[in-house]
Amino acid sequence: MGLDGSEISLFLTMSPLLLAIQPLRRIATRNFALLQLLSLVGLAAFAVGKREHRLKLIVAGVGLQSLAHAAEWEAYRGRPDMLHRKGLCVVC
């Protein structure tokens, strides 16, 4: 029994765990705006005809966005005012 594309996409929600690797964390915290920009690839999914390709684009967008949010919170770790502001934006 193997994993299909839809089942493997569930693992992408755990993409912030990649920040446990020190070089990846350093790159992500310095370039979290680029990660947020790259996550817009999920919006291009409406133009794709095949469902499988659409799923891959949406999964990539969600994974990049969750990684970008975790990297942004890591970058603002020493600034509680910015963390509070970002936390309020997520809640609202």
Angstrom distances, CA of residue 59 to CA of 30, 38, 54, 89? 23, 12, 9, 23
Q: Cα separation of 58 and 77, whole Å?
A: 29
* Domain chopping of the chain, boundaries: 12-91
45 in Cβ contact with 61 (< 8 Å)? yes
In three state form, how does the secondary structure of 48-60 look? CCCHHHHHHHHHH
Taking only the tens place, the pLDDT of each residue in 55-85 is 888 888 888 888 888 888 888 777 777 766 6
Q: How many CB atoms lie within 10 A of CB 4?
A: 9
Is residue 92 very low, low, confident or very high in pLDDT (cuts 50, 70, 90)? Answer: low
Taking only the tens place, the pLDDT of each residue in 33-42 is 898 888 888 8
Residue 5 has pLDDT above 80, yes or no: no
Taking only the tens place, the pLDDT of each residue in 10-49 is 777 778 888 888 898 888 888 888 988 888 888 888 888 8
